[in-house]
């Protein structure tokens, strides 16, 4: 959903990313889960710094069309593809396992974030929590069920 995702990219060769998110709610045992698959990535293992990746919020899918529409309309204020994107720019990328640093931009709000990552050959994986409030995103709710502020975002990037 908020893939915020970390559309982490790395520069020059074509790659693909998968982003998953899980948002807990105020109702015990109820979560909202979603993903963005086949996100295009430009990847250059020699020069990751400065790489920019953008994810259109229409790529975020929860498995329920009405919930997806609510996400686009209410959270991201996007009526059509191209209206809202999530942008990530790599500032520091470890050569092996370590901490990826970058600038995450969502709806005009930008923050520097650090994400622990693991590298296994041509694959980079990581996971972090993103605060909806920090990015001025409204917390979705429906019939008394409200999404918590912190959304767990996981990603996998493969060359």
Q: Give the list of residues 6+ apart from residue 155 with CB closer than 8 angstroms, or none.
A: 3, 5, 6, 7, 8, 17, 18, 19, 20, 124, 125, 126, 127
pTM of the full predicted structure? 0.82
| Measured CA distances, 134 to 42, 70, 130 (Å) | 28, 20, 8
Structural domains in the chain plus CATH codes? 13-158 (2.40.128.110)
The pLDDT of residue 7 is 40
- Number of Cβ within a 10 Å radius of residue 120: 10
Instruction: State what percent of residues in the chain have pLDDT above 70.
Output: 82
Residue 54 burial by Cβ neighbours in a 10 Å radius (0-12, 13-18, 19+): middle
Average pLDDT, the chain: 84
pLDDT of res. 5: 41
Q: State residue 93's pLDDT score.
A: 78
5 versus 91: the higher-pLDDT residue is 91
Length of the chain: 159
What's the pLDDT score for residue 26?
A: 96
pLDDT of residue 60: 93
Q: How far is CA 116 from CA 5, 24, 99, 102, in A?
A: 14, 21, 4, 12
* Residue 46 pLDDT level (bands cut at 50, 70, 90): low
Lowest mean per-residue pLDDT among 4-8, 73-77, 120-124? 4-8
Query: How far is it between the farthest Cα atoms of the chain?
Result: 49
pLDDT confidence band for 34 (50 / 70 / 90) = very high
């Amino acid at each position: 959903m908020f893939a915020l995702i970390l559309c982490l990219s790395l520069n020059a060769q074509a790659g693909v990313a998968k982003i998953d998110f899980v948002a807990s709610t105020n109702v015990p045992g109820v979560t909202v889960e979603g993903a963005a698959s086949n996100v295009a990535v430009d990847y250059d293992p020699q020069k990751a710094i400065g790489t920019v990746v953008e994810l259109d919020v229409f790529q975020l899918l929860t498995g329920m069309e009405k919930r997806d529409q609510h996400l686009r309309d209410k959270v991201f204020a996007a009526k059509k593809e191209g209206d809202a994107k999530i942008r990530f720019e790599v500032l520091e990328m470890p050569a092996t396992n370590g901490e990826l640093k970058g600038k995450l931009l969502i709806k005009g709000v930008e923050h520097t974030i650090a994400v622990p990552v693991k590298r296994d050959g041509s694959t980079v994986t990581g996971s972090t929590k993103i605060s909806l409030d920090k990015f001025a995103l409204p917390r979705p709710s429906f019939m008394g069920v409200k999404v918590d502020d912190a959304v767990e975002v996981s990603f996998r990037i493969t060359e």
